[in-house]
Amino acid sequence: MGYNMYLYEKAREAYYQDLRLEMEKRRLLSRLLRRRSMSRRAAGKLGLLLLKAGAWLKQFEQPSAALEDQI
């Protein structure tokens, strides 16, 4: 009976170790996906900001023909 309990305990330890490893993998994957999502969001916001800045600067740009008329 002692031998069976030893095998049972070893099998149980291995099972719980597998569960812990699987949970750790899922946690790491979840963290990676959140970071990727945050990076994409930040890149999108930066792109939008650059587009707005470009449009704002375009307002101050004068065509070369208008400059020649003023001279």
**CA 45/CA 53 separation, integer angstroms:** 12
**CA 49/CA 25 separation, integer angstroms:** 36
pLDDT at 13 over 80: yes
User: For position 37, what pLDDT does the model report?
Assistant: 81
Structural domain for 54, as ranges? 2-70
Number of domains in the chain: 1
User: For position 42, what pLDDT does the model report?
Assistant: 87
Amino acid identity, residue 27? Answer: R
**CA 11/CA 17 separation, integer angstroms:** 10
User: For position 65, what pLDDT does the model report?
Assistant: 56
Arithmetic mean of pLDDT, 52-63: 84
User: For position 32, what pLDDT does the model report?
Assistant: 83
Q: What is the pLDDT of residues 33-55, one digit of tens each?
A: 887 788 888 888 999 999 999 98
Structure tokens that stand for 14 in this block: 């291995």
User: For position 27, what pLDDT does the model report?
Assistant: 93
